[in-house]
Amino acid sequence: MLDLTLAEMARGLTSGEFKSVDLVRGFLDRIQQRDADINSFITVTGDAALEQAEAADAARAKGNAGSLTGVPLALKDIFCTEGVLTTAASKMLANFVSPYNATVVEKLNSVGTISLGKTNMDEFAMGSSNENSFFGAVKNPWDHSLVPGGSSGGSAAAVAAGLVPAALGTDTGGSIRQPAAFCGITGLKPTYGRVSRYGIIAYASSLDQAGPFGRSAEDCALLLNAIAGHDGRDSTSVSRVVPDYTAELAQPLDGLKIGLPVEYFGDGLDAGVEQAVREAVKVYESLGAQVVDVSLPHTQLAVPAYYVIAPAEASSNLARYDGVRFGHRCDSPIDLEDLYKRSRGEGFGEEVKRRILMGTHTLSEGFYDAYYRKAQQVRRLIRQDFLDAFDKVDVLMGPAAPTPAFKLGEQADPVSMYLQDIYTIAINLAGIPGISVPAGFVDNRPVGLQILGPHFGESHLLNVAHVFQQHTDWHQRRPEQYQG
- 79-110 pLDDT, tens digit per residue, is 999 999 999 999 999 999 999 999 999 999 99
The closest alpha carbon to 431, from 478, 385, 366, 480, belongs to 385
Question: Does residue 284 lie in a domain region?
Answer: no
Q: What is the CATH number of the domain that holds 243?
A: 3.90.1300.10
Question: Does residue 316 lie in a domain region?
Answer: no
- 451-475 pLDDT, tens digit per residue, is 999 999 999 999 999 999 999 999 9
Query: How distant is the alpha carbon of residue 168 from its chain centre?
Result: 7
* 432: three-class secondary structure by DSSP: coil
User: In this structure, are residues 24 and 2 in contact, taking their beta carbons and an 8 Å threshold?
Assistant: no
**Residue 244 has what pLDDT?**
98
- 179-210 pLDDT, tens digit per residue, is 999 999 999 999 999 999 999 999 999 999 99
At 325, the pLDDT band (50, 70, 90 cuts) reads confident
- The whole-angstrom separation of Cα 206 and Cα 200 is 13
Question: Beta 210-214 vs 186-189: how paired, if at all?
Answer: antiparallel
Query: How distant is the alpha carbon of residue 438 from its chain centre?
Result: 15
473 is in which domain, residue-wise?
A: 6-255+460-482
**Residue 484 has what pLDDT?**
75
Q: CA torsion, points 56, 61, 67, 70, in degrees to nearest 10?
A: 20
Question: Does residue 289 lie in a domain region?
Answer: no
**Residue 321 has what pLDDT?**
96
β-pair partners for 445: 442
* 101: three-class secondary structure by DSSP: coil
- 202-213 pLDDT, tens digit per residue, is 999 999 999 999
Number of domains in the chain: 1
- The whole-angstrom separation of Cα 238 and Cα 98 is 26
- The whole-angstrom separation of Cα 92 and Cα 77 is 13
**Residue 413 has what pLDDT?**
87
Question: Does residue 64 lie in a domain region?
Answer: yes
**Residue 113 has what pLDDT?**
98
Is pLDDT of 483 > 90?
A: no
**Residue 326 has what pLDDT?**
86
By the 10 Å C-beta count (0-12 exposed, 13-18 middle, 19+ buried), 465 is classed as buried
- 214-255 pLDDT, tens digit per residue, is 999 999 999 999 999 999 999 999 999 999 999 999 999 999
- Give catalytic residues, as residue numbers: 76, 151, 175
Omega cis (within 30) before 128: no
Average pLDDT over residues 376-399: 98
User: In this structure, are residues 260 and 281 in contact, taking their beta carbons and an 8 Å threshold?
Assistant: yes
The closest alpha carbon to 385, from 309, 304, 460, 294, belongs to 294
User: In this structure, are residues 26 and 35 in contact, taking their beta carbons and an 8 Å threshold?
Assistant: no
Question: Beta 210-214 vs 290-294: how paired, if at all?
Answer: unpaired
Determine what percent of the chain is predicted with pLDDT higher than 70.
Answer: 100
Question: Does residue 416 lie in a domain region?
Answer: no
Q: Kindly state the helix (H) or strand (E) to which residue 211 belongs, with its residue range.
A: strand 210-214
* 51: three-class secondary structure by DSSP: helix
**Residue 285, C-beta contacts closer than 8 angstroms, at least 6 positions apart:** 291
Question: Does residue 295 lie in a domain region?
Answer: no
**Residue 254 has what pLDDT?**
92
CA torsion sign for 304, 306, 307, 309 is positive
- The whole-angstrom separation of Cα 459 and Cα 225 is 10
Question: Does residue 446 lie in a domain region?
Answer: no
Question: Does residue 374 lie in a domain region?
Answer: no
Query: How distant is the alpha carbon of residue 314 from its chain centre?
Result: 18
* 71: three-class secondary structure by DSSP: coil
* 117: three-class secondary structure by DSSP: strand
